[in-house]
Amino acid sequence: MGLNLQQVSRIAERALEEDIGGGDLTSTLLFSENMSGKAEIVVKQEGILAGLPVAEIIFKKLDEVVLWEAKQQEGEVVSSGQVVVGLRGNLRAILGGERVALNFLQRMSGIATLTRRFVKEAEGFPAKILDTRKTAPGLRILDKYAVRMGGGFNHRFGLYDGVLLKDNHLRAAGSIEQAVRRLRQRLPPTDRIEVEVCTLPEVEEALQAGTDILLLDNMSLSEIEKAVRLIHRRALVEVSGGVTLDNVRQIAATGVDYISIGALTHSVPALDFSLELTS
């Protein structure tokens, strides 16, 4: 699944409006309107590249005929010092789009890089690495795209495309059994119901209610192992909460189906890039 370019275009417009506003004061005063320039975007750290289509849209909104030459591919491993893009076009446009384009590249490549590290740690086991809804407001489609570039998978995009009963739903509904029964009465029979559980008794209750997916939330490794044995393939199993690079392989080894990790998008370190003018 690629990017919805119409949505990306709207995100790009808002980002440019935020940064440029009525115009790039410095470049407008220094350089003539028709002055051209050449530049390269260089990655400063090893990582996974993501966000090139977004960066290209940024520059083409400022200069429709800018020459954009991608020298690396999305999802590829890149090394410090590699040139990932060559640019040639209006100098004001290149300088005006620089910060916004790099911001997107840095965040998206950072997400892809961290995701790839988790995927590598879980290699050899069937568990899929998932993201969550803990994304930057307004940037969810980009954050989740970057996860895919890193080899991960997307959980639901929003509250609109998947049923997940969390603690507050269950508290308001009265019990797991009551919540699941009420949903079954209203959902198409093909729709799956996922329930967040924190204890082994809740696992049993969710199974008795006919839950399709159990989300084991903030359980210890020994509790996860017991829960997987108790579930015994009667439902799919997802683990979330407290997942790190140090323990993700042990969690994957328990035989769970999914491991969701909020840190992929909520606090990821950026991958460093720079834009350098060339002669």
Q: Cα(51)–Cα(75) distance, rounded to whole angstroms?
A: 9
Q: What is the pLDDT of residue 279?
A: 81
Q: Using 50, 70 and 90 to split pLDDT, how confident is the model at 72?
A: very high
Active site residues: 99, 134, 166, 196, 217
Is residue 147 within 8 Å of residue 264, measured between CB atoms?
A: yes
Q: Cα(208)–Cα(182) distance, rounded to whole angstroms?
A: 15
Domain ranges of the chain: 5-115+268-278, 120-266
Q: pLDDT tens across 78-126, in order? A: 999 999 999 999 999 999 999 999 999 999 999 999 999 999 999 999 9
Handedness of CA 168, 173, 179, 182 (dihedral sign): negative
pLDDT at 239 over 90: yes
pLDDT at 67 over 70: yes
Is residue 129 within 8 Å of residue 151, measured between CB atoms?
A: yes
Q: Do domains 5-115+268-278 and 120-266 have the same CATH topology?
A: no
- Least Cα distance to 223 among 201, 249, 193, 196 occurs for 201
CATH among 3.20.20.70, 3.40.50.300, 3.30.750.200, 3.30.559.10 for 120-266: 3.20.20.70
Q: pLDDT tens across 179-206, in order? A: 999 999 999 999 999 999 999 999 999 9
Q: Using 50, 70 and 90 to split pLDDT, how confident is the model at 43?
A: very high
Q: Cα(84)–Cα(261) distance, rounded to whole angstroms?
A: 28
- Least Cα distance to 202 among 232, 172, 166, 233 occurs for 166
- The percentage of the chain sitting over the pLDDT mark of 70, rounded to a whole number, equals 100
Q: What is the pLDDT of residue 1?
A: 62
Q: Which CATH superfamily is domain 5-115+268-278 in?
A: Quinolinate phosphoribosyl transferase, N-terminal domain (3.90.1170.20)
Q: Cα(266)–Cα(116) distance, rounded to whole angstroms?
A: 16
Q: pLDDT tens across 151-179, in order? A: 999 999 999 999 999 999 999 999 999 99
Is residue 66 within 8 Å of residue 94, measured between CB atoms?
A: yes
Q: 140-149 and 91-121 are packed helices; what angle lies between their axes, rounded to 10 degrees?
A: 60
